[in-house]
Amino acid sequence: MQNREQLLAVEEPCRSRRARALELVERVLRAIDPYEATRESLRSVFPQGNSRANVHVLAIGKAAPAMARAALDELNAVGGFVLSPTAPISALSPLTQLQGGHPSPSPDAPNHARQIIAYLRALGPADELVCLISGGGSALLELPRAGLSLDDLSRTSELMMHAGASIQDLNVVRRALSEVKGGGLLNACANTKVTNFILSDVVGGPLHAVASGPTLPVHERVGHALELLEDFGVRSAAPASVIALLEGAANGANPSIDPSQRRAATVRRVSPPNAQIPTVTPATWLVADNDRAVRLLAENAQALGYTLQVPSNQLKGDAATAGERLMGTIGSLRPAVGLAWGGETTVTIETPNPGRGGRSQELIAGAARAALGSGKFQGTLVCFGSDGIDGQSPAAGALMDSAALSRLNADELERALAAHDCFSLLERTGAVLITGPTGTNVADLLFWLP
């Protein structure tokens, strides 16, 4: 934790509870390390390891470098690519490293995609492709459909995100506008055996939603993307080229998905560790996901002397509203029982110049708003993004306890929430968590220690 000293600069008993909360965050992040999780999966699927010949590796996403390193340690890879938002690192030879943009595609994203496609097209039946896919890949790997520009795609995604679209709805639109999403990348390696290993950041959703599923085909309902732009009220603001392409697809004049070029697939959701996803072509294995992270959260809390209840449903909906409702949930728990939860909330941005913050910090601010109304806050509440990045801020998330609450007032909370500037407020309060990028991504985690 990069700002540990600042977080612990409070009086007892908050100081001791915060210290245990920070230890729990660090334990969980170590437990969901993508290198170890990927290595475990590879060993179970490829017990012969380095004896396999003609293995190629394609790693895409925030966890790509760590997952690729695991593949190189377990398999005799002869080549491939690592596409991530981080600068190239050593010890990944013979893989070619490409640095892309996140949360928006970098200008060279189409060139990166074409480079990867050319490599895959050169593979033959004797080759084997191991794909390591993690969250963040939607922005990293992008090739617009004919007639669209990269700006068209970025603008459309931005409109949907600001309108509060879920990742599933957002990816329906992304897939309709992209040549490489929704199994599109498989078109370049139709004669090569492909095995997927997925580190999922999509809570409760299908695996083809992770990185928009470049190597997992999906059947889309014709016209669905256009309906979503309408439903979220952004159709009139979307680029004219996007509307023209989607209208053409809906009318059958320019179908956005050609079923003859895609392999059939039905994705059924299961939880790891190392669980094979049935009825999927190509073979797909789930390395880690939010469900596993929540279980590890509860297990590590127990090792620290806490019993945490795990709700059966997922944390979702508007972030600030979820934070307010959370206070009622905490109040209904049995004495000495805490809470471990996972999921992904949303933030709808209507202000033209939003400040810095993210959904985890808005959830904490919402909880603080409810606590100020009741005049008390017991225990320590923590919410953070497993990737170490919460929205447009340098924080992973934030915490709330009586020490932080004593430094807040209702008026400044309302202003911060209205401006989506919760980072500025919570940083002054000494309540933000700064871990730096973690190299993994299994969505958001929340816990409350009584």
Which residues are bridge partners to 432 per DSSP?
398
pLDDT at 213 over 50: yes
Q: Which amino acid is present at 287?
A: V
pLDDT at 276 over 70: no
pLDDT for res 167: 78
**pLDDT (tens digit per residue) in 94-106:** 999 999 998 789 9
pLDDT for res 326: 95
pLDDT for res 217: 85
Measured CA to CA, the distance from residue 286 to residue 269 in angstroms comes to 10
pLDDT band at 266 (very low <50, low <70, confident <90, very high): very low
pLDDT at 174 over 50: yes
pLDDT at 325 over 70: yes
Residue 269 contacts residue 172 (beta carbons within 8 Å): no
Measured CA to CA, the distance from residue 212 to residue 171 in angstroms comes to 6
**pLDDT (tens digit per residue) in 42-100:** 999 998 777 778 999 999 999 999 999 999 999 999 999 999 998 888 889 999 999 99
Least confident of 112-121, 213-222, 277-286, 334-343: 277-286
Q: Residue 443 — φ and ψ, nearest 5°?
A: 70, -155
CB atoms within 10 A of CB 220: 14
Strand duo 337-343 + 307-309: pairing: parallel
Radius of gyration (Cα) for the chain, nearest Å?
A: 22
* Mean pLDDT of all residues in 152-178: 90
* Mean pLDDT of all residues in 220-234: 90
Q: Which amino acid is present at 241?
A: S
**pLDDT more than 70, % of the chain:** 93
Measured CA to CA, the distance from residue 34 to residue 439 in angstroms comes to 7
Q: Which parts of 318-427 are beta strand (E)?
A: 337-343, 380-385, 397-400
**pLDDT more than 90, % of the chain:** 73
pLDDT at 268 over 50: no
Domains for the chain: give ranges and CATH numbers: 4-31+292-449 (3.40.1480.10), 34-143+178-220+257-288 (3.40.50.10180)
pLDDT at 394 over 90: yes
pLDDT at 263 over 50: no
pLDDT for res 410: 94
Residue 382 contacts residue 433 (beta carbons within 8 Å): yes
Cα four-point dihedral sign 404, 427, 307, 344: positive
CA 115 distance to own-chain centroid: 25
pLDDT for res 277: 52
Q: What order do you get walking across the sheet with 77-84 strand by strand?
A: 96-99, 77-84, 55-60, 128-134, 193-199, 283-288, 275-276
More reliable by pLDDT, 352 or 133: 133
Angle at 325 between CA 450 and CA 14, to 5 degrees: 25
pLDDT for res 150: 95
* Mean pLDDT of all residues in 236-263: 71
More reliable by pLDDT, 421 or 219: 421
pLDDT for res 264: 41
* Mean pLDDT of all residues in 9-31: 96
CA dihedral 122, 128, 131, 132 (to 10 degrees): -130
Measured CA to CA, the distance from residue 176 to residue 173 in angstroms comes to 5
pLDDT for res 307: 97
Least confident of 11-25, 83-97, 262-276: 262-276
More reliable by pLDDT, 272 or 50: 50
* Mean pLDDT of all residues in 149-156: 94
pLDDT for res 267: 41
Least confident of 217-226, 276-285, 392-401: 276-285
Quote the mean pLDDT of the chain.
Answer: 90
More reliable by pLDDT, 104 or 394: 394
Strand duo 307-309 + 432-433: pairing: unpaired
Residue 209 contacts residue 142 (beta carbons within 8 Å): no
pLDDT band at 253 (very low <50, low <70, confident <90, very high): low
Which residues are bridge partners to 338 per DSSP?
308
Residue 198 contacts residue 205 (beta carbons within 8 Å): no
Measured CA to CA, the distance from residue 445 to residue 340 in angstroms comes to 8
Name the one residue in this structure whose structure tokens are 């139709």.
190
Residue 341 contacts residue 396 (beta carbons within 8 Å): no
pLDDT for res 375: 75
pLDDT at 427 over 90: yes
pLDDT band at 265 (very low <50, low <70, confident <90, very high): very low
pLDDT at 258 over 80: no
Strand duo 128-134 + 193-199: pairing: parallel
CB atoms within 10 A of CB 428: 13
Of the candidates 313, 381, 370, the residue with the CA atom closest to the CA atom of residue 343: 313
* Mean pLDDT of all residues in 443-448: 96
Of the candidates 393, 394, 397, the residue with the CA atom closest to the CA atom of residue 385: 397
Residue 330 contacts residue 364 (beta carbons within 8 Å): no
Alpha helix (H) residue ranges in 304-439: 319-331, 359-374, 402-405, 410-419, 422-429
